[in-house]
Amino acid sequence: MDSDLNISSKKLIKRLKELDRFKHSGSVREGEIEKLQEYIKTLETHVVNLKPHSNKSRKKLNRLVADIESLKIEIKKRNEVLDNFEERFSKYNVPKRYENGHKQPLKGYVVRLQEYMEITWRKEAKKNREKGHWNLFEMMTSMDITTEDAYFAYDSLQASLEEIASMISSFLIEYLTLIMVASNESNEIVSRRLDELLTVVECLSIEQDNKYSLVNDVFVEIVRFFIGSMELAGPFWDDNEDDKKKKKKFYFDEEMEDDLAHHIIMEILRLEVSFSNPDFFPMMLINDMMFSISVHLKCYVFNEKLKRVVEKIGEWKSAIRFVEEVGDDDYSEMEFLMQVLEAGVHEICTDNNRTSWTLVNLVSK
């Protein structure tokens, strides 16, 4: 067989198999990698069928040569298509903390996460700034909303932002609730998880010195509010050994916990990219375009992704097994805390003026 074809086919097969590294990427649609990898068997079959045999006639050998050249062209095209897929997959291929059966220490994970942010997003954002690009927030603040069309477009974008941010924030509340239950009601574990979550979320801002950062303005504030609320509420339970023996025991799956946190983090980053990444020329400011962006974000960019997070929450809920019934007092206190968190999240997500945050500022004092 043609040596060039042999080498190129092996390289393509290797690339297709290596797509597995993107299986946890937030850019991959369900079944997308598996569909691309289906070509491995097809290519292997083609290569086997193109092996020459000595008893072939000249006519068949000429046809074989033509088929080899055709397959070379096909492999080249497949590689070009694969380039585009890999570029898209890498965008939200946020590093996972739990890998190979253990959870990486926070310090090492933060280094990996910062490297990913620098290579994937911050370098490009810096280049775009130098070209005069704006982010979507800056585009919105420059709109003349005195006209009906402009106001409608602005209001639609603002509504989409608030709806998506509120949904992601509700996932954070669910995450905290599950941590509280699945940790066997350990104050220490809950506190540590929130502190670690804050450190991770702080890494997700694209332009760390830019005032228009959803990560800094919304999600960092939300996690800080969670921490403040937990401290203000005080322990819901005692961590002494005698009380622990009396308490119910829950099944805590650290890998499942990290998987849920990872999916939430990806959606926080996706919203940061959508509104805080300098990706627009100021001259692109058109009302119809701005309205189209609001619809596109809600219906096409986030719809499927947020459903995936809901599924992850459901999976972890199903994995928490009760040995004894949960006491009514435990749940009533927890439900009250969740109501407080929901009210604070609503303030942060719907009011850009921090001075008017009533509950959040009360907790932060």
**Cα(192)–Cα(206) distance, integer angstroms:** 25
Confidence of residue 68 (pLDDT cuts 50, 70, 90): confident
Asked if pLDDT for residue 69 goes beyond 80, the answer is no
Q: Domain check: are 87 and 105 in the same one?
A: no
Q: Domain check: are 114 and 236 in the same one?
A: yes
- Which of 66, 91, 116 terminates a domain? The answer is 91
**Structure-block tokens of residue 299:** 């219906």
Of the candidates 246, 255, 254, the residue with the CA atom closest to the CA atom of residue 326: 246
- Which of 74, 91, 108 terminates a domain? The answer is 91
The full length of the chain comes to 365
Q: Domain check: are 104 and 82 in the same one?
A: no
Q: Domain check: are 211 and 351 in the same one?
A: yes
Confidence of residue 190 (pLDDT cuts 50, 70, 90): confident
**Cα(297)–Cα(158) distance, integer angstroms:** 12
**Cα(305)–Cα(298) distance, integer angstroms:** 10
- Exposed e or buried b for every residue in 311-339, given b needs 16+ CB within 10 A? ebbeebeeeeeeeeeeeeebeeebeebbe
pLDDT of residue 322: 45
Asked if pLDDT for residue 209 goes beyond 70, the answer is yes
Confidence of residue 325 (pLDDT cuts 50, 70, 90): very low
Q: Domain check: are 274 and 134 in the same one?
A: yes
Q: Domain check: are 318 and 351 in the same one?
A: yes
**Cα(112)–Cα(96) distance, integer angstroms:** 9
Total count of domains within the chain: 2
pLDDT of residue 198: 96
What integer best gives the mean pLDDT of the chain?
82
Of the candidates 160, 256, 174, the residue with the CA atom closest to the CA atom of residue 214: 160
pLDDT of residue 324: 40
Asked if pLDDT for residue 292 goes beyond 80, the answer is yes
Which parts of 14-129 are beta strand (E)?
Answer: 98-99, 102-103
- Exposed e or buried b for every residue in 276-294, given b needs 16+ CB within 10 A? bbbbbeeeebebeebbebb
Q: Domain check: are 244 and 320 in the same one?
A: yes
- Which of 59, 91, 123 terminates a domain? The answer is 91
Asked if pLDDT for residue 237 goes beyond 90, the answer is no
**Cα(158)–Cα(145) distance, integer angstroms:** 13
Confidence of residue 364 (pLDDT cuts 50, 70, 90): confident
Work out the average pLDDT over 21-39: 78
Q: Domain check: are 272 and 341 in the same one?
A: yes
Asked if pLDDT for residue 64 goes beyond 70, the answer is no
Per DSSP, 120 falls in state I
pLDDT of residue 182: 75
**Cα(64)–Cα(239) distance, integer angstroms:** 75
**Structure-block tokens of residue 353:** 């003026």
Q: Domain check: are 160 and 297 in the same one?
A: yes
pTM: 0.80
Work out the average pLDDT over 110-114: 96
pLDDT of residue 247: 52
Q: Domain check: are 50 and 102 in the same one?
A: no
Range of the domain at 7: 3-91
Q: Domain check: are 147 and 174 in the same one?
A: yes
pLDDT of residue 178: 87
pLDDT winner (highest mean) among 41-45, 213-217, 266-270? 266-270
Q: Domain check: are 159 and 245 in the same one?
A: yes
φ, ψ at 41 (rounded to 5°) = -65, -40
